[in-house]
Amino acid sequence: MEKTYNPRDFEDRLYKEWEESGCFKAVRDDNKIPFTVMMPPPNITGQLHMGHAMDETMQDAVIRFKRMQGYCALWLPGTDHASIATEVKVVEQITKEGLSKESLGREGFLKRVWAWKDKYNTRIVEQLKKLGSSCDWSRLTFTMEEKCSRAVREVFVNLYNKGLIYRGSRIINWCPNCKTTLSDEEVNYAEEAGSFWHIKYFVEGDNETFLEVATTRPETMFGDTAVAVNPDDKRYKHLIGKKVILPVVNKSIPIVGDKHADMEFGTGVVKITPAHDPNDFEVGLRHNLPVVRVMNDDGTMNEQAGKYKGLDRYECRKQLVKDLKSGGFLVNIQPHAHNVGHCYRCGSTIEPLVSRQWFVKMEKLARPAIDAVTYKKITFVPERFAKIYYNWMENVKDWCISRQLWWGHRIPVWYCGDCGKEIVSKTDITECPHCGSKNLTQDEDVLDTWFSAALWPFSTLGYPDDTSDLEYFYPTDVLVTGYDIIFFWVARMIFSGIEHMRKVPFRDVLIHGLVRDEKGRKMSKSLGNGVDPLEVIDKYGADSLRFSLLQGVAPGNDTRYSDAKVEACRNFMNKIWNASRFVIMGTEGAKIKPISEFRLSAADKWIISKLQSAIRDVTLALNKFELGIACQIMYDFMWSDFCDWYIELVKPVLKSEDEVKRDGAASVLVFVLENALKLLHPFIPFITDEIYRNLPNTSGTIMTAEYPRYNAKLNYKKDAQSFAGIMDIITAVRAVKTEVNCPPSRKVRLFIHTDSKRLINANESSVLKLAGAKEIKFVNSAEEAGENAVTKVLAIGTVYIPMGELVDIEKEKARLSAELEKVTSEIARADGKLNNQGFISKAPKKLVDDERAKLNKFIEMREKILKQINSLN
């Protein structure tokens, strides 16, 4: 093995080997239990960012864990065509070349998008591989490939036939820049400083009386078809039924009474513009008002705006306000902060308007989807996200699925030019089934990108065919994704899975947070604070990045990325690397045999017990998807227990003359390291496999090795506990040396008053080595240790360390007094507890016993410390 950890030497090589060996592939095996994870398909809009890196790492960790446990583990990868997002990108690209969608035409434009897709799809796959993702590449799926398109059509037609998809004129969100509708979820609201324009609407035939209307969007005035007041409003009640004259336009519109008008808000008078406001649309329905659209698709005014026709909506507003003012209609302008909707892709201000679109009827689909979570067929991790899900699902409105875009699944509906009927079909048609006409035109629009994404858990496995894969791998086991797409995607997969497969799409939903920058800001292009995972991998290796994205992260919580964190993880990799080098080199020539063939030392039993705890706790944590905790356990075990203690303890043994002892130590070293590597493999697959291959008596890849199982027989609790006493001695001696400024290299003599002579004798060489001592003598009193000895009172006994001229009596007294104080306060605490009748009678017996033992120990220690202080006086 190389002297320093250099991930570039082996990461790519190992990945290639894994891929070629076929161990990523999941093939139905009825002797195994399936475990399925569907990768949330990254958008082909660009390359992967840190958020993806975390998402993929979590999935990879889970799938590798399950694979090692013997499940038939399928992690199915894919990419998403991301209809609007990609289209925006490609339009940007062609605009730079002086081209446009129109100039290229539908075919030409789509050709450009496919080229884009090829480029980014390839890049994304490369990135996933660099990260170490163990997905089944033979199943790589793109949401616009034939397999998915077939599923989309099947679902569309089925929903249509059930009456759950319909076409209707309703208020939708319109992006004037992308020139398409958006679903409610695709609109982001942000508070903006706007204005309230107060405008006089004169009552017809009365030049004195007017209603003062307050509006934030005066330019929609041309579409006003009524003015509403609250029917209970004493100020205006008498005017209901009369008419007002629309200023500038000079059109007569009715005054209606409607509870929508809030008496407390503004002037209490609302202009009603059914074509451009969702609430007004409802009012319009109630009062049978005409719907007048005043804007074109690009946000300019149409012929309804009269002389303002052709102006951009905001330019029109400016001029109109000027005219209202000069006409004497404008009362005043008040500043008003209000929320304005923006397109989630291009940021343009959304225009609500009436349009004829395709919708999915949500009411019937939502109910079973709510039940699935209520009755725990699906569990959110952490649980709190179920609440967010309920809230959305219980208030969901019909889903607008048609988009005026070209990139996406085209709506499978044809309109007959002759009989006028609409035909919905799973396959392309050229002839009207009703009248035989060939005069057919397919709906121009495509489907919302989330429509196909909603089918992902089963479209990828062959739906609508009854495939063997579907039967075996569906429902999937866990979906890993961020909280930002619960509505867009998770919710829609749930109702889709239930509706079309009659089974929930997954059993657990593991939700993670966002990866933010060092300052806690969202990583974004505009801020320029994004960090490219590939660059980090190049610098530190994939394992370091992976570990940094998992360690210390709690499910559902945001986390910060920082180079410092990755560096710390790289140091951990380096630690693992070097410890392994030591094990491999240090055990060369030794006979590595099963540990059961040796008489284990106290240190051996201690580390083996620690390993058992790690196995138990890590497995438990992973089963609960607590990846951060699992990583922390392994970090501590590997660094503190294995490296700092066990390796150091075992060094003298490896140098021993006793061959059996040497072989024993070597075997334990290899045994513990091998198990630790297996436990670490799901998180840091590269380094663990590279080392595993260099260990004695291993073959093949660690990837397919069996995951360690907890073995209670190897958990030597008592031995481990008593060995902790040895560690106490070592720590105490080191501390004393530091306190009295004794160079660590200076060997000291130890006088120990203890009942555990055998234990200490058995571990003498370790104590001498690690404490930096030259001899151990057992004594029965402080006097035997001579003068100028520093005293450490420990649970295992009292240690006297002669320090000669280095000892400052006053300092030693102060030190002992400090220790006395500490022990005294502990005694007070334990005493208080044990004097509490409630504690004695209600707390578990074990706890009470432990507390009593602790108290006795502290009392004993206090006696010894007191005695020592007295002897110094």
Binding span for RNA by CB under 7 A among 126-134, 734-742, 753-761, 796-804: 734-742
- Check if the beta carbon of residue 858 is closer than 8 Å to that of residue 826: yes
262 near RNA (CB under 7 A): yes
The residue with tokens 């940094």 is: 548
Q: What tokens were used for 454?
A: 């909603």
CB of 89 to RNA, least distance (A): 22
Binding span for RNA by CB under 7 A among 3-11, 128-136, 500-508, 702-710: 3-11
List of residues 6+ apart from 522 with CB closer than 8 A = 514, 516
> In the window 346-385, what residues touch RNA (CB under 7 A)?
384
Strand 506-512 versus strand 748-754 pairing type: unpaired
Q: What tokens were used for 466?
A: 């009854």
- 837 three-class SS: helix
279 near RNA (CB under 7 A): yes
Binding span for RNA by CB under 7 A among 210-218, 367-375, 412-420, 605-613: 210-218
Q: Which is nearer to RNA, 202 or 839 (CB)?
A: 839
864 near RNA (CB under 7 A): no
> In the window 455-484, what residues touch RNA (CB under 7 A)?
none
Q: Which is nearer to RNA, 148 or 569 (CB)?
A: 569
Question: Binding RNA by CB under 7 A: which of 808, 826, 831, 860?
Answer: 826
Q: Which of 403, 400, 405, 393 is nearest to 359 (CA)?
A: 400
- 215 three-class SS: strand
189 near RNA (CB under 7 A): yes
What is the contact mask toward RNA in residues 615 to 644, using x (rule: CB under 7 A)? Answer: ---------x-x-xx--x--xx--x---xx
Return the sign of the alpha-carbon dihedral for residues 745, 747, 751, 755. Answer: positive
216 near RNA (CB under 7 A): yes
Question: Binding RNA by CB under 7 A: which of 81, 271, 342, 409?
Answer: 271
Question: Binding RNA by CB under 7 A: which of 217, 313, 815, 864?
Answer: 217
- Check if the beta carbon of residue 236 is closer than 8 Å to that of residue 269: yes
184 near RNA (CB under 7 A): yes
Q: What tokens were used for 254?
A: 């009715």
What is the contact mask toward RNA in residues 533 to 572, using x (rule: CB under 7 A)? Answer: -------------------xxxx-xxxx-x-xx--x-xx-
212 near RNA (CB under 7 A): no
- Check if the beta carbon of residue 663 is closer than 8 Å to that of residue 593: yes
Q: Which helix (H) or strand (E) holds 646?
A: none
**Whole-angstrom distance, CA of residue 606 vs CA of residue 646:** 9
CB of 431 to RNA, least distance (A): 42
CB of 839 to RNA, least distance (A): 4
Backbone φ/ψ region at 350: left (φ over 0), alpha (ψ -120 to 50), beta: beta
CB of 842 to RNA, least distance (A): 4
User: How many residues in the shown chain lie near RNA by CB under 7 A?
Assistant: 93
CB atoms within 10 A of CB 468: 12
CB of 341 to RNA, least distance (A): 7
**Whole-angstrom distance, CA of residue 2 vs CA of residue 800:** 44
CB of 338 to RNA, least distance (A): 4
- Check if the beta carbon of residue 508 is closer than 8 Å to that of residue 477: yes
> In the window 434-453, what residues touch RNA (CB under 7 A)?
none
Q: Which is nearer to RNA, 124 or 316 (CB)?
A: 316
181 near RNA (CB under 7 A): no
- 231 three-class SS: coil
Q: What share of the chain is helix, strand, coil (3-state, %, to 5)?
A: 50, 20, 30
Q: What are φ and ψ of residue 65, in 5° steps?
A: -60, -50
- Check if the beta carbon of residue 487 is closer than 8 Å to that of residue 397: no
314 near RNA (CB under 7 A): no
CB atoms within 10 A of CB 79: 23
CB atoms within 10 A of CB 511: 27
Q: Which is nearer to RNA, 135 or 199 (CB)?
A: 199
CB of 871 to RNA, least distance (A): 23
531 near RNA (CB under 7 A): no
Q: Which of 237, 511, 549 is nearest to 385 (CA)?
A: 511
CB of 384 to RNA, least distance (A): 5
Question: Binding RNA by CB under 7 A: which of 252, 319, 334, 339?
Answer: 339
> In the window 572-611, what residues touch RNA (CB under 7 A)?
573-575, 578-579, 581-582, 585-586
256 near RNA (CB under 7 A): no
